[in-house]
Amino acid sequence: MTVFVQYVLLLALVFGATFISFLGFKAIKLI
């Protein structure tokens, strides 16, 4: 695994976690 691949995976992981938490926050506000 190259450093670039690890960086992309880390970025995708952070973006996914932020997106999921944002969706959960919107769902809680809707309820």
Q: How far is CA 3 from CA 13, 16, 26, 28, in A?
A: 15, 20, 34, 37
pLDDT value of residue 7: 97
pLDDT value of residue 19: 95
Q: Is the four-CA dihedral 15, 12, 17, 30 of positive or negative sign? A: positive
pLDDT value of residue 30: 81
Ordered per-residue pLDDT tens for the chain, 31 residues: 699 999 999 999 999 999 999 999 998 888 7
Alpha-carbon span 8 to 27, nearest angstrom: 28
